């Protein structure tokens, strides 16, 4: 009977620590336009294990579906930082931020103002 209880306890422990292959999470990522959206989503999707990445221009929320067996939120965040976008927890390096197009400089108040006035830049409109 003791052996059965131990086996059941081990199985329950193993099942409860199993990693989810369709984990869902969201994080806040700074950006201002559709070019930012494309860059953020592409960086996320290029991270091994990320299945879905959708960034909302207005709310700055990045919704993710990823395989916890292959990646984690910190790794995804590192990929986003590398392409020049800040997250709520960590800022991209100045070098990475400098690589974004001038219309995407979300730290610049003038650029933020341009986008609040309804100006939307799209990928392929000469702002690449």
pTM: 0.77
Domains of the chain: 19-116 (3.30.70.100)
Contact 105, 35 (CB under 8 A): no
| Tokens coding 49 | 């294990």
Find out whether 85 and 101 touch, Cβ atoms under 8 Å: no
In which residue are the tokens 């953020």 written?
A: 40
pLDDT truncated to tens, each residue of the chain (128 aa)? 666 566 655 555 444 456 899 999 999 999 999 999 999 999 999 999 999 999 999 999 999 999 999 999 999 999 999 999 999 999 999 999 999 999 999 998 888 877 776 555 444 444 44
30 contact partners, CB below 8 Å, separation of at least 6:
60, 85, 86, 87, 106, 107
Host H or E run for residue 116: helix 109-116
Structure tokens at 12: 């329950």
């Amino acid at each position: 009977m003791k052996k059965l209880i131990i086996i059941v306890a081990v199985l329950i422990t193993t099942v409860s620590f199993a990693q989810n292959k369709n984990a869902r999470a969201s994080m806040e990522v700074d950006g201002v336009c559709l070019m930012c959206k494309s860059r953020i989503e592409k960086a996320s999707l290029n991270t091994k294990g990320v299945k879905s990445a959708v960034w909302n221009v207005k709310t700055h929320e990045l919704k993710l579906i990823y395989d916890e067996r292959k990646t984690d939120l910190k790794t995804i965040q590192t990929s986003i930082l590398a392409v020049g976008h800040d997250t709520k927890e960590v800022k991209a390096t100045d070098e990475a931020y400098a690589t974004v197009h001038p219309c995407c400089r979300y730290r610049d108040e003038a650029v933020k103002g341009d986008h609040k006035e309804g100006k939307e830049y799209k990928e392929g409109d000469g702002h690449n």
